[in-house]
Amino acid sequence: MTSAAFLPTGDVTSRIAVGSHVGEIKVFDAGSGEMVENYAGHEENAVNLLQTAVKPGLGGTWLLSSTRKEIKLWDVETMDMGRVVTFEGVRSGRFNHAATSIVAVEQRQSGPPQVGWFRGRCYLLSWS
């Protein structure tokens, strides 16, 4: 296991997302510890960061997963359908406090890393 985050759910149960060394995101029931889902999140890259945020004005929850080569944004309620957006060539993604933007460090072959930010509207997501 390389990272973990609580996944808020609409009912009284709680789940935990756990990243792995081989890029999987496993979801466990927080009460029983039983694995309930397993997603091939990132191909052969360790998931080094997981973060959740409440979708602004939409209800539900986002999950942001990061590796050293990319970040992915997931809709927690529909994770079984796949990621919402992949940002390639960046790492260490984080939501802002309002969950309307994501900041990440650009992965470069040479030169200093650059910090970039992504707003939902640029990727056809209707964030407010």
More confident residue, 109 or 96: 96
pLDDT of residue 62: 86
Whether residue 24 is contained in a domain is answered as yes
Q: What is the pLDDT of residues 34-76, one digit of tens each?
A: 999 898 878 778 889 899 988 877 777 889 998 888 888 888 8
Global confidence as pTM? 0.78
Beta bridge partners of 103: 94, 117
In terms of pLDDT, which residue wins out, 105 or 17?
17
- Residues 5-40: tens digit of each pLDDT: 988 766 656 889 999 999 899 999 888 899 998 988
Please check whether residue 33 lies inside any domain of the structure: yes
| Residue 128 within a domain | no
The number of distinct structural domains making up the chain is: 1
SS3 content of the chain, % helix, strand, coil (to 5): 10, 45, 45
The range of the structural domain enclosing residue 83 comes to: 3-123
For residue 94, pLDDT beyond 80? yes
Answer whether residue 23 is part of any domain.
Answer: yes
**Short-list 63, 77, 1, CA closest to 33:** 1
Residue 63, domain member (yes or no): yes
Look-up of token digits 């964030």: 127
Residue 102 lies in a domain: yes
118 within some domain: yes
Question: What CATH code is carried by the domain that includes residue 83?
Answer: 2.130.10.10
Residue 97 domain flag? yes
pLDDT score of 102: 82
Question: Do 8 and 14 form a contact (C-beta atoms < 8 A)?
Answer: yes
